[in-house]
Chain A
Amino acid sequence: MKVLVAVKRVVDYNVKVRVKADNSGVDLANVKMSMNPFCEIAVEEAVRLKEKGVATEIVVVSVGPSTAQEQLRTALALGADRAILVESAEDLTSLAVAKLLKAVVDKEQPQLVILGKQAIDSDNNQTGQMLAALSSYGQGTFASKVEISGDSVAVTREIDGGAQTVSLKLPAIVTTDLRLNEPRYASLPNIMKAKKKPLEVLTPDALGVSTASTNKTVKVEAPAARSAGIKVKSVAELVEKLKNEAKVI
């Protein structure tokens, strides 16, 4: 079966971002960008499904600027067969991305779509669920285990009190949680081979999708700074401070 994986180019998770002085957003100029960590897990899961003989083809798709081709090449080096970039310079909302992915799903007809549970920039945790709604597919969000049998997929999900398993009819949408797998690194020969794999570039217009949004970001500010703390010398001093100064115990 064909598996579609969505990946996003985001600021690297180790970078401490700074808010721009004019409060229009965070400063991403000259900042290291990478594939969203949850998307790496999604790619890894698809590659493992292919290695098990369950998946026959892995198509990786990204919605974003032309520089997102770097992340698609990374996914190709990890084992995806071909890539699609839906190029858009604007910052799109989750719903707009879900609509664009829906158009790609209609075109490609995958049996399984794997996305990360959330992108570490917008922290929205929406796109997979929205794509599932638009496609009328079942959704297995926050997956820590994915097992395909026949025409259904059993997804074990991380929920607040523990774990829950649901069974979904294929085609279905799965979003990955951190514990689903440990992503591999791309080897140098595979990085070289990935340069020759096909990468198709589409536009929202070509897909006939409007990316108009009902949300507007008015401003972006730095969070309130915590006032500097103190270092105590002993456990006794710590307990004394917590009891008498902070009054929390």
Chain B
Amino acid sequence: MTILVIAEHDNKVLAPATLNTVAAAAKIGGDIHVLVAGQGAGAVAEAAAKVAGVAKVLVADNAAYAHQLPENVAPLVAELGKGYSHILAAATSNGKNILPRVAAALDVDQISEIISVESADTFKRPIYAGNAIATVQSNASVKVITVRATGFDPVAAEGGSAAVEAVAAAHNAGISSFVGEELAKSDRPELTAAKIVVSGGRGMQNGDNFKHLYALADKLGAAVGASRAAVDAGFVPNDMQVGQTGKIVAPQLYIAVGISGAIQHLAGMKDSKVIVAINKDEEAPIFQVADYGLVADLFEAIPELEKLV
């Protein structure tokens, strides 16, 4: 068995989610190869070669792969992937965008967002917004799988010494092009990788009030998230959204402030180790999953909490 892991990167840095994906590959067992498809992504390839457990790094360097356009990257992965037993990618927006296109090209079903490996052909994944866990078995010749990063502890980023090999194949479907992107800037830790996450909901009342959460987060070294209500109300940008349709997080500590705890929000955070809820409505569903609940006005509780931690 040889497993192909698609590296998640921005042509400069190997994204941490790749380390969780390699960890899932290691649980399946067999040789692990990592594909770095991009443009001028030499540093990413070097970083991938150092990842513990990786046997080989394939580098496909071509302008067509610069922005991870699925119309170009998916045919490359499908072509290379034919020789592998498994193709894995992180369940990031990139992985979700590209991998189903690979699966269809290979005429196999895909298994999305696995949270555990039961055996080489059997995996567990959440369905119905995490309210049920399905065990799925695949008899496909190539098993195409996306991996939920929070389901697997990352492997070490150092210690490996894989061979790096260039891949000549260039696919350019010519049906799509990159126009531009607008990335939100933040100095705080990345939401999905943070050990502590402080999230605000509709109860924050406006975007300006999020400054209280930022102050608390900076003191704790935490990332700041939000519920869909807070995003839809325009308090914060949508890449901060935690939930079924946003990001899935599983930090050591999740502090939900002014969040009622709808099913869709819980789907994104209920695997956190410790959950704290601060809400003035003692009937809010968030208290049913919270390890520690505080019924209080957040505008009094948050500044006090910031002082005490």
Interface, chain A (partner B; CB < 8 A) = 11, 13-14, 16-17, 19, 26, 93-95, 98, 117-118, 120-134, 136-139, 141-142, 144, 154, 157-169, 172, 177-179, 213-223, 226, 229-232, 234-236, 238-239, 241-242, 246, 248-249
Contact = CB atoms under 8 A, between A and B. Distances in A.
Interface string B243-255: 0110100001100
B275 A229 contact: yes
Closest 6 CB pairs of A and B: A129-B100, A133-B104, A214-B140, A130-B104, A126-B100, A165-B179
Q: State which size class the interface on B falls in.
A: 35 or more
Interface in B127-159: 127-140
A231 B291 CA distance: 8
Contacts of B275: 226, 229
B70 to A, nearest CB: 6
Contacts of B130: 223
A236 B301 CA distance: 10
- Majority DSSP secondary structure for residues of B touching A: mixed
Nearest to A38: B245
B94 interface: yes
B69 A166 contact: yes
26 contacts: A26-B131, A94-B100, A129-B97, A129-B98, A129-B99, A129-B104, A132-B71, A137-B175, A138-B175, A139-B71, A165-B180, A166-B176, A168-B176, A172-B175, A178-B232, A214-B108, A216-B137, A220-B133, A221-B135, A223-B126, A231-B282, A238-B294, A239-B305, A241-B292, A246-B292, A248-B253
A15 to B, nearest CB: 9
Contact of B109 (A139, A167, A214, A222): A214
Given A129-B70, A138-B176, 19 more contacts: A95-B109, A129-B97, A129-B98, A132-B71, A132-B101, A138-B71, A154-B179, A160-B92, A160-B94, A160-B239, A161-B183, A169-B176, A214-B139, A215-B137, A217-B134, A223-B126, A236-B308, A242-B253, A248-B196
A124 B71 contact: no
B252 A238 contact: no
A235 B296 contact: yes
Interface string B89-116: 0001110111111111101111111000
- Majority DSSP secondary structure for residues of A touching B: mixed
B57 interface: no
B128 A93 contact: no
A32 to B, nearest CB: 14
Contacts of A14: 263
Given A159-B181, A162-B183, A163-B182, A219 B301 contact: no
Given A162-B184, A242-B274, A248-B273, A130 B100 contact: yes
A230 B102 CA distance: 47
A130 B104 CA distance: 5
A163 B132 contact: no
Interface in B159-216: 173-184, 196
Contact of B101 (A122, A129, A154, A163): A129
A160 B237 CA distance: 11
A223 B133 CA distance: 6
B220 interface: yes
Given A141-B96, A154-B179, A229-B293, A221 B305 contact: no
B176 A231 contact: no
B264 interface: yes
A246 to B, nearest CB: 5
Given A95-B110, A123-B128, A217-B136, A163 B181 contact: yes
Given A160-B239, A214-B138, A17 B131 contact: yes
B49 interface: no
